[in-house]
Amino acid sequence: DAMVIQNPRYQVTQFGKPVTLSCSQTLNHNVMYWYQQKSSQAPKLLFHYYDKDFNNEADTPDNFQSRRPNTSFCFLDIRSPGLGDAAMYLCATSRSTSGGRTDTQYFGPGTRLTVL
């Protein structure tokens, strides 16, 4: 089945120790998104890639970076995790960014990050 895969499902890191979360997709979608979701809150968009074009949200902290080496994979790098960065990180994909009915975003299962 075509899908969005995130590894690992659970990640523990230490305060200030860089961590990388990964996302892969078999949907062959052009767009990949990263969201942060804190406990009992709504998902919040951090950034997205349309192909190789990176689009950062204005309020995303510099501590968060992303890489997309090819169509299938996208990584979220947190350079110096703080306690406030503990959250579920969700990856999503869509075919394009035209915003029409066919551009549904499909989410992966998420990676729950714990910062000690």
Partner 1 sequence: GQSLEQPSEVTAVEGAIVQINCTYQTSGFYGLSWYQQHDGGAPTFLSYNGLDGLEETGRFSSFLSRSDSYGYLLLQELQMKDSASYFCAVKAAGNKLTFGGGTRVLVKP
Residues that bind partner 1 (CB under 8 A): 4, 31, 40-45, 48, 55, 90, 94, 96-101, 103-110, 112
What residues contact residue 88 under an 8 Å CB cut-off, 6+ apart? 36, 37, 38, 110, 111, 112, 113
C-alpha–C-alpha distance, residues 34 and 115, integer Å: 19
| Cβ nearer to partner 1, comparing 55 with 80 | 55
| Cβ nearer to partner 1, comparing 2 with 16 | 2
- Residue 107 CB, shortest distance to partner 1, in Å, is 4
What tokens appear for 54 in the block?
Answer: 């990176």
| Cβ nearer to partner 1, comparing 85 with 105 | 105
